A and B are shown apart, each in its own frame.
Chain A
Amino acid sequence: MITSFVPILAVDILGSIAMVIIALLSFYKARRLREMDPDNAVFHYLLWISMGLTIFSVSRSFGHILRQFLILTSNAEAWHAISSYTGSVNTVSFMLVGSITLFFNQSWKINEKILTGRKKLENTHIELMDLNQTLEHKVIERTERLTSSEHKCRRIFEQSLDTIIVTDSEFKIMEINPAGIILTGYTRDEMIMGKMTAGNFFADFSEWEKIHNKIASKEYILNEEAEFLRPDNDSLFVLITGGIDYGAFGCAKTYHFIIKNVNEKRQMERQIAQADKLAALGELSAGVAHEINNPLGIILGYTQLLLKLEPEHKDDLKIIEKHVQNCKTVVSDLLSFSRKGSSELSIIDINKVVDGVVKFLSNHSDFRNIEMSLNPYTEDRLNILGNEQELGQVIINLVINACHAVEGKGNIDITTQRTDQDKILIMVKDNGKGIDKKNLTRIFDPFFTTKPVGQGTGLGLSVGYGIIKRHQGDIRVKSSEGMGTLFTISLPADRTMD
Chain B
Amino acid sequence: MLKKNPHNIRRFLNFIPAMTIAGLILLPIEVSATQLHASSEGIITHQAGHFFFLFSMVALIFTITGKDLNKQKGWRLIQYSAFFFILWNLDAIFAHFLDNQIYAVKIENISLGKMRIITNNDSSLLAWFYYILKLDHLLCVPAILFLYKGLSFLVDDQKKMMAKKGS
Distance to closest chain B CB from A145 (angstroms): 38
Q: Which of B131, B144, B158 has the most CB of A within 10 A?
A: B144
Which residues of B are found within 8 Å of A105, using beta-carbon distances?
Answer: 63
Q: Which of B48-78 contact A (CB under 8 A)?
A: 49-50, 52-53, 55-57, 59-60, 63, 67
A119, chain B: closest CB distance, angstroms: 13
For residue A415, give the distance in angstroms from its CB to the closest CB of chain B. 88
How far, in whole Å, are A33 and B113 apart by their CA atoms in the complex?
A: 44
Contact, CB under 8 Å: A98 / B151: no
Contacting residue for A46 out of B63, B67, B117, B151, CB 8 A: B151
Give the residue name and chain of the B residue nearest to A105 (CB). Answer: B63
Task: Confirm or deny: B145 has a beta carbon within 8 angstroms of a beta carbon on chain A.
Answer: yes
Work out how many contacts link A and B, with CB atoms closer than 8 A. Answer: 131
* Most chain B C-beta atoms within 10 Å of own C-beta, residue among A3, A11, A25: A3
Q: Interface SS of chain B: helix, strand, loop or mixed?
A: helix
Question: Does B110 lie at the interface of the complex (its beta carbon under 8 Å from any beta carbon of A)?
Answer: yes
Residue in contact with B140 in the complex, picked from A15, A32, A98, CB distance below 8 Å: A15
Q: Give CA–CA (A18, B148) in the complex, Å.
A: 12
- On whether A53 and B147 interact (CB within 8 A), knowing A4-B113, A99-B56, A102-B59, the answer reads yes
Mask, A101-123, CB within 8 Å of B = 1, is 11011001000000000000000
A108 in contact with B67 given A12-B137, A29-B152, A95-B53 (CB within 8 Å): yes
Residue interface mask B128-147, A partner, CB < 8 A = 1: 10010011111011001101
Known: A5-B113, A7-B135. A29 touches B155 (CB 8 A): yes
What is the interface residue range for chain A against chain B? 35 or more
Chain-B contact segment, one of A84-92, A258-266, A364-372: A84-92
Quick one: CB contact mask for B70-95 with A, threshold 8 Å, 1 for yes? 00000000000010000000000000
Interface residue from A11, A22, A71, A98 paired with B56 (Cβ < 8 Å) = A98
Contact A33 B53 (CB under 8 A): no
Choose among A3, A15, A91, A98 the residue with the greatest number of B CB atoms under 10 Å from its CB: A98
A225 to B131, CA, bound (A): 126
Residues of B within 8 A of A104 (CB): 59-60, 63
* Complex Cα spacing A286 to B159, Å: 117
Q: Return A82 CB to nearest CB of chain B, in Å.
A: 13
Query: Are B137 and A14 in contact, with the CB atoms below 8 A?
Result: yes
- CB B62 to nearest CB in A, in angstroms, measures 10
Chain A interface (Cβ < 8 Å from any Cβ of B): 1-8, 11-12, 14-16, 18-19, 22-23, 25-26, 29-30, 32-33, 36-37, 46, 49-50, 53, 57, 71-72, 76, 84, 87-88, 90-92, 94-95, 97-99, 101-102, 104-105, 108
Give 3 closest A-B pairs by Cβ, nearest first: A15-B137, A98-B56, A29-B151
11 A-B residue pairings within 8 Å (CB atoms): A2-B116, A5-B115, A12-B134, A26-B148, A29-B155, A33-B151, A92-B49, A98-B49, A99-B52, A101-B82, A104-B59
Residues on B lying within 8 angstroms of A by beta carbon are 42, 45-46, 49-50, 52-53, 55-57, 59-60, 63, 67, 82, 109-110, 112-117, 119, 124, 127-128, 131, 134-138, 140-141, 144-145, 147-148, 151-152, 154-155, 158-159, 162
